[in-house]
Structure 1
Amino acid sequence: MAGEITETGELYSPYVGLVYMFNLIVGTGALTMPKAFASAGWLVSLFLLVFLGFMSFVTTTFVVEAMAAANAQLRWKRMENRQEEDDDSSSTASDSDSLVQDSYERAEKRPILSVQRRGSPNLFEITDRVEMGQMASMFFSKVGVNLFYFCIIVYLYGDLAIYAAAVPFSLMQVSCSATGNDSCGVEADTKYNDTDLCWGRLRRVDVYRIYLAVFTLLLGPFTFFDVQKTKYLQILTSLMRWVAFTIMIVLALVRIGRGHGEGHPPLADLSGVRNLFGVCVYSFMCQHSLPSLLTPVSSKRHLTRLVFLDYVLILAFYSLLCFTAIFCFRGDSLLDMYTLNFARCDIVSAAAVRFFLGLFPVFTISTNFPIIAVTLRNNWKTLFHREGGTYPWVVDRVVFPTITLVPPVLVAFCTHDLESLVGITGAYAGTGIQYVIPAFLVYLCRRDTQLALGPRAANQHRSPFHHTFWVGFVLLWAFSCFLFVTANIVLSETKI
């Protein structure tokens, strides 16, 4: 749950942190990117991918700077408390969880040199894991904190809806193809509708909803309990992810090299930009997990450079995955979940590989669904938490888990259009988490740091984009994206 300062835990090297960050960013969004890439045209898609990657890097450096500023203020507050105890041993100790506002007044009364000594670079070392919710409570007003949690909750709902739709959709595609006339999978020119028959008289949409019901019954109960992500489970899912991505890229390259590529993507098609934008924003989402990811890094001396290297590698990987996909498959034959395109005999001859790729989202997403559900449930609790109050058992154990589980399952019941689900989640909640929240965090933390530590306090983790122009540019870009996506949705509905 966001909002608590926890122990750093086991430290790891910067390069291990780089791998963890890479694995965090490259997830489900990458599987929906090839279709969005093909629908918007390769040139427009490449430009937007690079630009959104750059914007994500900018806001990542904002979050890192805010993490350092939060550590500095917490450390300075502890130093102030210790000094007060030394000056007056008979006075009671200050509450360790009090806000830093009282310290501002003391800072204004102290000599400026005393404040500057406290503004040393070591003060900004990132040693305490200060989650996004804690930073929001430190730097935002009460309204801002509520808006922060609202944005996080909407994003997590979108995540759960995507996961709840992706697993049954993948199972439906694999099982209906296996029981069809072509036991090897989907033919190149075949376009299935939800009303097509799958099992006897059962339509494909009926099979999808049966799988959704089973998925909900099996994984839904975990929402009512506490679930912890184990280290070994993370290693297993990461290994499966990289085996699947490597197989798909190699198979697509081999097919293109043999001259069997079917794709002839256009340079640009503006009608597909809306979904591409949301998918790209979703695919670069990492800002909300940076505190738990970067705090355990043992040496943070070149942290910004390592993050930049990570983004370059991720851009290269996304480009390789998407370009091999759009030149290997025709744009109208690309499925929402890219792994399902490899269910054809002429692509993969080995049945085991076909089933592994087809069921790959089932394994990886199923392990993440309970964790995200518990995170969403805990954020609901934090949003409505009252100081010193506790929830009744029914509210704590029944109401919060129910309002967590039911809405995404209902959305998945109504639609399995993964590209649209990812696009909308990324375009709205993703814009808030990736652009708006980091921009306000860094702006307000700079103001509060100057009040508490003086204008010359040196933050060694300061963002390279430290000019106020970049904060305004990120907010302007976020607002423009919101208007653009909303206008496109309205126009699309009007045409229908």
Structure 2
Amino acid sequence: MHRARAAPVSTPSYSNLVGFIFIFNLIVGTGALTLPGVFARAGWALSLVVILLLAIISYMTVTFVIEAMACANAIKNWQNLQVLRRSRNSHSENENDQENEELETVPLMNSSTEFQYYQLTHKFELGEMATLFFNDFGRILFYMCFIIYLYGNLSIYSAAVSRSLRDVICEHDHSNSSDISILESKSLYGAGNFKSNETTACWKDREITRLSMYRLILIGFISIFGPLVLFGIQKTKYLQMLTAAFRWMAFTFMICISIKLLITDGAKGHPVPINIYGVPPLFGACVYSFMCHHSLPGLLAPLRNKSKVSQILSYDYILICMFYIVLAMTGIFAFKHVEDLYTLNFLPYQVESKDFLSGLYIGIDYFLSLFPVFTLSTSFPVIALTLKNNLQILFLDMSQYESYNKFIRLILFPLMTILPSFCVAYITDSLSTLVAFTGSYAGAGIQYVIPVFLLYFSRRTCTELLGSGITNHFQSPFKSNAWLALVLIWSVICVIFVSINLFF
């Protein structure tokens, strides 16, 4: 008598094109806004070489994560098969010898079933894979690296929002360009970019400085969005869609405006080809801009045709690298000075104009200047909640979570989440410094070191359980262990070089 099987629960899935768009939107984010500034400081030639090289290495380590995720699925499938075999054996002890013999011949390495082991159907997050393949010490190092990266993210978001609002609210010193009017210039954006000292007044005849205004806005921002960590409020689907639309409007405006400036006014920026002292922020910004490894499993699991996943990612990386180069190169030549947050190059000019086109440009300026406020404010609670959850996993026994008192659960960990990033952003508003530290250390750990060790130990574990006769169809194109050693050596050299340039 056979038992009726329950109908399988349908899981959400999407096509390769939708997956391509999702991955593109995941990678292209805040980091892209810091690229023009670091390109200008490091030099256009050096920046081109570095971003191309880091794009290739980032793609390599993405394929490492994919193979490790397939190995985790293979181990899960192998474990499920062992449970099924034991269950069937226990129910067939009284069956005839022929049935027992047929049961024992269920193959582990049958070529017709090898693809069933290595899959991407079950979503294994990086933390789950670290728990599966690493020992306790390795798992702690993983969570520490991940937590530091999230702290850096929150600091960058807080500083970017506060700086953007401060620079829109405060007046700008036009004394250095009093002879140049908006009507006399060939472009509304060609009058220059004004970089005021942080100790100067925010408004004329007022004592409050620009730095004080930045810190007041920062306190207000944390006071509004910090408590959301207590209540677990995250972005909704429609808010994500709106944020994505704002992001692409902003990037399109910035590229088009920069190209227009180059055509009408010529190149105002004259960056040097190579400046070795600009490498630390360049390396950190590039690593930060190509980061998708920590969120990749969630995007790959619903992909309908997973056999093309490496190809989809290769197209994404090629397109994103070209997009970054266009965004940065047009910016560094179109503007005499490039801010470390690129949207600050599009601050609205304080002019009175009744011309429709002039008003339209000023409206676009306001939109671009406030763009980080719109997008990063919606992302801040999500990153904060992710950080809080990882802090709890690292320090608490989650199987006994309810046994901890309310102060620990509702007060201590939210404060541990918000306060360190707030203090960092309060001390410095230099986004290039924050991105350099976050990308160069924690970012390099997540993007380079962790994928290398995940792949090495996952391969070893699968070989021990399944043998070497089953082919992993999601194996990285960079199959040799020499690639693992090369990426590891590269990451160590880069971190050492960045550290020397930052501290000496």
- Which TM-score applies when normalising by structure 2? 0.88
Contact 2:145 2:445 in 1 (8 A): yes
Q: Does 1:431 align with 2:433?
A: no
- Aligned residue number for residue 191 of structure 1: 195
Give the one of 356, 375, 385 matched to 2:386.
Answer: 375
Contact 1:71 1:125 in 2 (8 A): yes
Give the one of 301, 304, 314 matched to 1:298.
Answer: 304
Runs of 4+ in 1 over 6 A off after TM superposition: 110-113, 178-186
Q: Does 1:238 align with 2:244?
A: yes
Q: Does 1:475 align with 2:479?
A: no
Structure 2 SS opposite 1:79: helix
Structure 1 SS opposite 2:291: coil
Contact 2:202 2:210 in 1 (8 A): yes
- Aligned residue number for residue 327 of structure 2: 321
- Cα offset for 1:267? 1.0
Q: How far apart are the structure 2 equivalents of 1:89 and 1:202?
A: 80
- Aligned residue number for residue 270 of structure 1: 276
Contact 2:234 2:381 in 1 (8 A): no
- Cα offset for 1:227? 2.5
Residues 319-354 of structure 1: CA deviation (Å, up to 9, x unaligned): 000110011012xx2111101111254997622111
Q: Does 1:414 align with 2:408?
A: no
Contact 1:261 1:329 in 2 (8 A): yes
- Cα offset for 1:423? 1.0
Q: Structure 1 residues 274, 71: CA separation in 2 closer, same or farther (over 3 Å shift)?
A: same
Contact 2:348 2:366 in 1 (8 A): no
Contact 1:8 1:129 in 2 (8 A): no
Structure 2 SS opposite 1:360: helix
- Cα offset for 1:228? 3.0
Amino acid at match of 1:370: P
Amino acid at match of 1:382: I
Give the one of 339, 353, 374 matched to 2:343.
Answer: 339
Q: Does 1:114 align with 2:107?
A: yes
Residues 272-324 of structure 1: CA deviation (Å, up to 9, x unaligned): 01110011000000000000011111111211111000000001000000110
Structure 2 SS opposite 1:233: helix
- Aligned residue number for residue 168 of structure 2: 174
- Aligned residue number for residue 118 of structure 2: 124
- Cα offset for 1:388? 3.9
Q: Does 1:18 align with 2:20?
A: yes
Give the one of 250, 261, 265 matched to 1:259.
Answer: 265
Q: How far apart are the structure 2 equivalents of 1:42 and 1:402?
A: 42
- Cα offset for 1:490? 1.9
- Cα offset for 1:66? 0.7
Q: Structure 1 residues 223, 396: CA separation in 2 closer, same or farther (over 3 Å shift)?
A: same
Q: Does 1:403 align with 2:416?
A: yes
**Any unmatched runs of 5+ in structure 1?**
1-6, 92-109, 492-496
Q: Structure 1 residues 186, 358: CA separation in 2 closer, same or farther (over 3 Å shift)?
A: farther
Q: Structure 1 residues 9, 367: CA separation in 2 closer, same or farther (over 3 Å shift)?
A: farther
Give the one of 363, 367, 376 matched to 2:374.
Answer: 363
Contact 2:63 2:476 in 1 (8 A): yes
Q: How far apart are the structure 2 equivalents of 1:196 and 1:247?
A: 30
Residues 16-58 of structure 1: CA deviation (Å, up to 9, x unaligned): 1111111111111110110100111111000000000000000
The range that moved more, 313-322 or 8-17, is 8-17
Residues 463-495 of structure 1: CA deviation (Å, up to 9, x unaligned): 00011001111111111111111111121xxxx
1:478-493 → structure 2 map (5 Å cutoff): 478-491=491-504
- Cα offset for 1:190? 3.3
- Cα offset for 1:389? 2.5
Give the one of 429, 432, 453 matched to 2:466.
Answer: 453
Give the one of 46, 63, 66 matched to 2:65.
Answer: 63
- Aligned residue number for residue 207 of structure 1: 213
- Cα offset for 1:384? 1.5
Give the one of 396, 407, 414 matched to 1:385.
Answer: 396
Q: Structure 1 residues 280, 160: CA separation in 2 closer, same or farther (over 3 Å shift)?
A: same
- Cα offset for 1:387? 6.4
Task: Flag the structure with larger Rg.
Answer: 2
Amino acid at match of 1:431: A
Amino acid at match of 2:322: A
- Count the aligned residue pairs: 465
- Aligned residue number for residue 78 of structure 2: 76
Amino acid at match of 1:62: F
